Amino acid sequence: MWDLREAAEVVGAELLRPRPPFEASGASCDSRRVRPGDLFVAIVGTRHDGHDFVGEALSAGAVGALVSRDPGMGHNLIVVEDVPRALWELARWRRRELAIPTVGITGSFGKTTTKELLAAALGTRFRVYRAPESYNTEIGVPLALLSVPDGTEIAVFELGMCRRGEIKALCELVDPWAGIITGVGEVHYGAFGSLEEIAEAKWELAECLPEEGILAVAWDYPELRRRVELCQALCLRFGSSPEADFTPAQVRAHDPQGVRFTLRSPAGSHRVKLQLLGEHVAVLACGALALSWAMGVPLEAAIPALAEVRPLPHRLQLIPTWFGWILDDCYNANPRAVRAALDVLVVLELPARRRAFLFGDMLDLGPEEDRFHREVVEYAARVGVDVLFAVGPRASRAFSAWEGEGAASTELEELLPRIREVLKGVPTVLLVKGSRGMALERAVEALRE
């Protein structure tokens, strides 16, 4: 816990209308998710102004608020000129108070799943804090740092990025001792223009690790392999390549209960069972096992812990519904991740007669976005998808390359009646996937009814 009076001093502010208790145990910028003991951080966003929710946050148990103006009510208000900048100052201060090793996880995909797997493995030997949900942005990471409980022995953070230098800045805040790079894909391709540039941005994590630190690096990506010699930390390789130190063999990805595989590692071979779907998840599990093993957790302890990790919301969740099943993977999308989800769709052993795909726009792909969308449609046809629904202007343009059953629209509301009509009568598995900005969880909720 930390003291709001000290926090005010750190950012050069006075505590307005002070009232005990002054001890804070976390931070939140969403009044709907405030927990008792949180400092509410009033962020001014594109659609909402956090200052309008200060009262709601205090009623939910917040002990104070970080604000840029006095809303005229409330207590323990830390009033600053720039709330995001003050948030970072508080997070730096809190990090200095935490004399513990931290782990940073980055990559174009799989960060949250890898974080959950790693935290489960490390949790068998240490008191572990993991950043909530996908708190991997310039706002989410400092909020997570301020929420690390007293008594934590290792803290695990996700590090996201939209531009060069962002991971470096987050690393300067988190000060990671170890890290995982999950892979390189066409996320934010429009801003970078090449996988090589994306890899360079992700590699900032490796450059920030100390010489005595540890990096688990995905060995299936040549853009990362080329950089390993530049890493001063100990590098462990994981991936499907036989050259990797930790690799999955005999992968069985068809079981709807979860993936099974044999882990091959310097510590021997072990059978691994997960509740998660997708052959690619076996590779992510190898990364988590590699780093936890290097940090002192025996594989015999880590592997059973991984078996307890359940699917995260909107990340390859298999949901029974009136027409069969929804394979909900709508949290986000990029070309490589979409192909991986399609592989899951077509191999799952379920009593379904059709495999359908609701394909939403993949955003931030730049001038080549039409090519990337068309290649996904062609891949869906190649692996055996029976029905394709495309939503959004980009996916709808790519739909012209589809020769099978389906429909396309730029608006989800226009497409949903057609989807319901097609899904009637025949047991079907429907994959739902698109970029975060498409908010395809709307389709998942509508089609569950």
Q: What is the pLDDT of residue 163?
A: 84
% the chain with pLDDT above 90: 92
Q: Tell me the β-bridge partners of 62.
A: none
Residue pair 398/368 in contact by the 8 Å Cβ criterion: no
Q: What is the pLDDT of residue 126?
A: 98
Residue 228 has pLDDT above 80, yes or no: yes
Query: Please, what CATH class does the domain formed by 98-306 belong to?
Result: alpha beta
Q: What is the pLDDT of residue 383?
A: 97
Q: Is 304 exposed, middle or buried (0-12, 13-18, 19+ CB in 10 A)?
A: middle
| pLDDT grade for 324, boundaries at 50, 70 and 90 | very high
CATH for the 2-81 domain, from 3.100.10.20, 1.10.240.10, 3.90.1300.10, 3.40.1390.10? 3.40.1390.10
Q: What is the pLDDT of residue 316?
A: 96
98-306 and 317-448: identical CATH topology: no
Residue pair 140/131 in contact by the 8 Å Cβ criterion: yes
Question: What are the pLDDT digits (tens) for 22-75?
Answer: 999 999 999 999 999 999 999 998 888 999 999 999 999 999 999 999 999 999
Question: What are the pLDDT digits (tens) for 74-126?
Answer: 999 999 999 999 999 999 999 999 999 999 999 999 999 999 999 999 999 99
Could you check whether the bond before residue 266 is cis, i.e. omega within 30 degrees of 0? no
Residue recorded with tokens 């688990």:
216
| pLDDT grade for 311, boundaries at 50, 70 and 90 | very high
Residue pair 178/57 in contact by the 8 Å Cβ criterion: no
| pLDDT grade for 368, boundaries at 50, 70 and 90 | very high
Residue 191 has pLDDT above 80, yes or no: no
Q: What is the pLDDT of residue 11?
A: 97
Q: What is the pLDDT of residue 449?
A: 80
Over the chain, what is the mean pLDDT?
Answer: 95
The domain locations on the chain are 2-81, 98-306, 317-448
> Amino acid identity, residue 237?
R
% the chain with pLDDT above 70: 100
Sequence-distant (6+) residues with CB within 8 A of 447 are 321, 323, 326, 416, 419, 420, 423, 430, 432
Q: Tell me the β-bridge partners of 432.
A: 328, 358
Q: In the numeric block, which tokens belong to residue 430? A: 């429907």
Query: Please, what CATH class does the domain formed by 317-448 belong to?
Result: alpha beta
Question: What are the pLDDT digits (tens) for 152-172?
Answer: 999 999 999 888 899 999 999
DSSP letter for each residue of 129-151:
EE--TT--STTHHHHHHHTPPTT
Q: What is the pLDDT of residue 315?
A: 94
Q: Is 152 exposed, middle or buried (0-12, 13-18, 19+ CB in 10 A)?
A: middle
Residue 134 has pLDDT above 90, yes or no: no
